[in-house]
Amino acid sequence: MAKLIGGLGSSHVPSIGAAMDKGLTQTEDWKPFFDGIGPGRDWVAANRPDVAVVVFNDHGNSFFLDKVPTFAIGCAERYDPIDEGWGPRAIPSFEGHAELGWHIIDRMVENRFDPMIVQEIEVDHGIQVPMELFFGKPDKAWPVRVVPVFVNVIQYPIPLPSRCYELGQVLRRAIESFPGDERVVVIGTGGLSHQLQGARAGFTNPEADREFLRDIASNPGRLAALSREDYVRLFGSEGAELMMWLVMRGAMDPDVVVKHSHYFVPASMTGAGMLVLENRVA
Amino acid sequence: MEDRIPETPLFDRSRQLRGYRLNKMAMGLVDPANREAFRQDEEAYLDRFGLSAEEKRAVMARNWQEMVRLGGNVFYILKISAISPARMTEIGAHQAGMDHDTFLRERLGKKPAGSQ
């Protein structure tokens, strides 16, 4: 059976991608962030995953408001980078693990989650940036296949944080019942605190961000029990994305080891973080 | 529209219904042909989506604060900045009612000289 080898967390701020595209990673603004991603990349290189299940939200690129799935799961062979308005970025397409995608969808529905089934879609910075942070930008092909899991965190009603956590628990069972020998990581993406809209634009909350990075490992129940409004109040209107890390966390054992944790603010207007968790081996 | 969290517009039913055409217009800019149409004759492009005079004024003035008030969501209206460049921090500063340097300093804790 496939094996879940780790749970990763990462911001997906588009300007992180732009900083990499423009060669700005060593500038005064960006160096402190990029200096902290090395151990995450090293962990991935040492642990050699075959598949990344990436939990993220679309940002008004692949889905418009005409059709808004609360949860959607990809079962495509390939995902091309989308044109977000500036032209598609020069990064390779993602090879999908369609069989695992279908298997996850089957197990989800059997366990009373009913995602939208997606066989053809282009993907935005929500998946691109975390993949680049953990795997580097490859010239030709990514070293892993992907299964995208889309969560609506833009159009209300967005799902409950506790529901995201439960989705992760089902995802874990789905991965570990897949007939294959794949080594799988689940990547929760988004956040940390930021707000792009309204008079509170530019709001960040470093203290809450640091508590989040601590508690997502040691006390995820507290974070799953918060309301959607708590997320917006604590982390900003777009910081509510952080509930997607709960999907990753729900897929892990209750007892985890933190292999790497990094935080920097501000990446553009956002508290930016990276996290690597492993299940504690008994 | 009443928001439960101060200065924080939640993209709820009433707000997205109000902003639907405005956001659909902006979403259209993911298509290079629409970007060209916007560049050539902005008002004609906006008319294709049935924008009201108030909405058109807000877009043509690049009045981000007003676009959000009218139900625009930054993820969509941001695409206008691919055509007439504006940094996310400038869009943030405008909504906060601050000049850019003040916004960088007070909200993001940056030194203006080191800002990009």
CA distance A168 to chain B (A): 25
Residues 15-34 of A with CB under 8 A from B: 15, 24, 27-29
Catalytic residue among A12, A59, A103, A194: A194
Active site residue A97: no
Q: Which residue from B minimizes the CA distance to A193?
A: B108
Nearest 5°: the CA angle A241, A242, A243 is 90
For residue B33, the chain A residues in CB contact (below 8 A) are: none
Say whether pLDDT at A25 is over 80: yes
Q: Which helix (H) or strand (E) holds A188?
A: strand A183-189
CA distance B53 to chain A (A): 22
pLDDT value of residue B111: 77
Q: Considering CB atoms only, which of B5, B78, B83 is closest to A229?
A: B5
pLDDT value of residue B115: 43
How confident is the prediction for chain A on average, in pLDDT?
Answer: 97
Are A200 and B6 within 8 A, CB to CB?
yes
Task: Report if residue A171 sits inside a domain.
Answer: yes
Among the listed residues B88, B79, B73, B32, the one whose alpha carbon sits nearest the alpha carbon of residue A16: B88
Say whether pLDDT at B49 is over 80: yes
Query: Is the C-alpha dihedral spanning A155, A156, A161, A165 positive or negative?
Result: negative
Q: What is the pLDDT of residues A85-117, one digit of tens each?
A: 999 999 999 999 999 999 999 999 999 999 999
Distance CA A116, CA A148 (A): 12
Among the listed residues A143, A160, A181, the one whose alpha carbon sits nearest the alpha carbon of residue A243: A160
Decide: A156 and B10 in contact? Cβ < 8 Å: yes
pLDDT value of residue B116: 45
When pLDDT is averaged across residues A29-46 and rounded to a whole number, the result is 97
pLDDT value of residue B113: 59
CA distance B47 to chain A (A): 20
Task: Report if residue A280 sits inside a domain.
Answer: no
Say whether pLDDT at B112 is over 80: no
Structure-token match 């007003």, residue found: B66
Number of domains chain A is built from: 1
Task: Report if residue A282 sits inside a domain.
Answer: no
How many helices (H) and strands (E) would you count in chain A? 10, 10
Interface contact A227, partner B, CB < 8 A: no
Say whether pLDDT at A80 is over 70: yes
Interface size, chain A vs chain B, as Cβ–Cβ contacts under 8 Å: 117
What's the residue count for chain A?
282
Task: Report if residue A279 sits inside a domain.
Answer: no
pLDDT value of residue B107: 96
When pLDDT is averaged across residues A149-157 and rounded to a whole number, the result is 97
Residues 29-68 of B with CB under 8 A from A: 29-32, 35, 65, 68
Active site residue A194: yes
Q: What is the ipTM of this complex?
A: 0.94
When pLDDT is averaged across residues A161-180 and rounded to a whole number, the result is 98
When pLDDT is averaged across residues A126-153 and rounded to a whole number, the result is 97
Structure-token match 């879940």, residue found: A4
Distance CA A158, CA A164 (A): 10
Interface contact A85, partner B, CB < 8 A: yes
Which one has a higher pLDDT value, B108 or B111? B108
Are B115 and A269 within 8 A, CB to CB?
no
For residue B93, the chain A residues in CB contact (below 8 A) are: 201-202
Task: Report if residue A90 sits inside a domain.
Answer: yes
> The domain containing residue A54 runs over which residues?
3-274
Say whether pLDDT at B114 is over 60: no
When pLDDT is averaged across residues B87-97 and rounded to a whole number, the result is 96
Task: Report if residue A82 sits inside a domain.
Answer: yes
Q: What is the pLDDT of residues A245-260, one digit of tens each?
A: 999 999 999 999 999 9
- In the structure encoding, which two tokens stand for residue B30, read together? 């993911």
Here the CATH number for the domain that contains residue A151 is 3.40.830.10
Catalytic residue among A12, A103, A125, A260: A125
Specify the DSSP class assigned to residue B79: G
Task: Report if residue A250 sits inside a domain.
Answer: yes
Distance CA A33, CA A200 (A): 24
| Residue B2 binned pLDDT confidence (cut-offs 50, 70, 90) | low
When pLDDT is averaged across residues A192-204 and rounded to a whole number, the result is 97
Are A86 and B29 within 8 A, CB to CB?
no
Task: Report if residue A281 sits inside a domain.
Answer: no
Q: Considering CB atoms only, which of B8, B78, B116 is closest to A232?
A: B8
Are A269 and B5 within 8 A, CB to CB?
no
Residues 79-108 of B with CB under 8 A from A: 79, 82-83, 88-89, 91-93, 95-97, 103, 107-108
CA distance A207 to chain B (A): 14
pLDDT value of residue B3: 74
Distance CA A91, CA B26 (A): 24
